[in-house]
Chains A and B, each alone.
Chain A
Amino acid sequence: MQDIDFRYDLLPLKNKLFRLALRITLDSAEAEDVTSDTLIKVWNKREELKGVESIEAYCMTVCRNLALDRHEKKEAQNLSLEAYEIDATDNSFTPDEQLERDEKLRKVHELFNQLPERQRTIMQLRDIEEKSYREIATIMGVSEEVVKVTLFRARQAIRKQYDKIENYGL
């Protein structure tokens, strides 16, 4: 690979990174910080990364780790309740105003974000970013088999909740 250019190689990844960070931290301000930290971290290490096969996958891995760090720190501070509140207000931030208006979408949003981190990250990468199992495995540092099994569990959980909502109007 040639030299990494900030504007052409890293900056275009910002929204993908932001969405991943948002899915993990569930907080847009945190997610923005994580995105910016990721880009700066990768930029500062650019000399070592010339041999990296996919700079995008590398950035996603860094982004996930940074997001997890923040998320865990927050949980350690016993702020999970507050985080939940932020999550609720977060809907108003989401650029997609549809989410705010549409009750159904908001419910799916909650369903999605109630999944354990691994499951919702894999759902994010597969169903929203449309990544292959292989790419997801590279990003998360696990085997393709683990990705598949986790995705299976996530989709099963969503389906179960979904049917519950449909049947009982929960």
Chain B
Amino acid sequence: MDYKYIEQLLERYWVAETTEKEESILRAFFSQPDVPAHLLQYKGLFSYEQSQAEISLSDDFDEKILKKIGAAEPQIIVVRAKRQSFFRSLRPLYEAAAAIAIVAMVSYSASSYLNKQNSQSPWDYNPASYQDSYQSAQQSYKVVQDGLEMFQKTASADSTKQNNNLNSAHEE
């Protein structure tokens, strides 16, 4: 049998040129019982490596470490009934009622708003159909006069303020 391939692999193994796959081929080769005499010397290395891969902790390790992190075996999940008052237990009901009320209110107001909009007549541009806001002419005159007076007051107050500002600016 020709062992050229294995010898080549071994040479490449020593110079760290082998791939993971090639190294597993070497391990497999050296773990079989009939390794040729000239390669037998290296059997020890590969069988040592394989034996080392099986080293494991003692069985009580799990128990010890689980105790340390506070998750000791056996893990019993305790389910405790939560006590709550009668009114509290009805809470989902309140919430549902409130939600329904909100939806009802919104939809009612929306529909009434839309109805109102639809019922409004289009704008009347005909001056003949204009209606007076006030019953008597005197009353309407007074309202207009009051309004103008108010406007005058605020306007004059603004202008004096502006003048004062200008004056003070000049003084400085």
What's the Cα separation between A128 and B54 when bound, in Å? 9
Supposing A109-B48, A155-B14, A162-B42 touch, asked if A94 and B55 sit within 8 A by C-beta, the answer is: yes
Known: A36-B65, A107-B44. 20 other contacts (CB 8 A): A11-B65, A14-B61, A18-B56, A22-B55, A35-B61, A36-B68, A95-B54, A95-B56, A99-B51, A102-B44, A104-B44, A105-B44, A105-B47, A108-B44, A124-B52, A128-B52, A129-B53, A151-B16, A155-B16, A162-B41
Quick one: which of A15, A43, A152 contacts B55, CB cutoff 8 A? A15
Q: Which residues of B contact A18 (CB under 8 A)?
A: 55-57
A-contacting residues, B117-165, CB 8 Å: none
A sample of 9 inter-chain contacts (CB < 8 A) reads A15-B56, A32-B57, A39-B69, A40-B65, A40-B68, A40-B69, A95-B55, A130-B23, A130-B53
Quick one: which of B14, B20, B48 contacts A130, CB cutoff 8 A? B20
What's the Cα separation between A152 and B51 when bound, in Å? 22
Supposing A155-B13, A162-B42 touch, asked if A128 and B53 sit within 8 A by C-beta, the answer is: yes
Q: Which partner residue on chain B sits nearest A112 by CB separation?
A: B48
DSSP class of A's interface residues: helix, strand, loop or mixed?
A: helix
What's the Cα separation between A7 and B71 when bound, in Å? 10
Q: Which residues of B contact A152 (CB under 8 A)?
A: 15-16
Assign chain B's interface to a size class.
Answer: 20 to 34
By a beta-carbon cutoff of 8 Å, the part of chain B in contact with chain A is 13-16, 20, 23-24, 41-42, 44-45, 47-49, 51-58, 61-62, 64-66, 68-69, 71
Q: Which partner residue on chain B sits nearest A43 by CB separation?
A: B69
Q: Which residues of A contact B56 (CB under 8 A)?
A: 15, 18, 95
| Closest beta carbon of chain B to A163's beta carbon, Å | 9
Lowest 10 CB-CB distances: which A-B pairs, in order? A152-B16, A108-B48, A104-B44, A15-B56, A96-B51, A151-B16, A127-B49, A128-B52, A105-B48, A128-B53
What's the Cα separation between A80 and B140 when bound, in Å? 113
* Contact flags A126-166 to B (C-beta < 8 A → 1, else 0): 11111010000000000000001001100110110010001
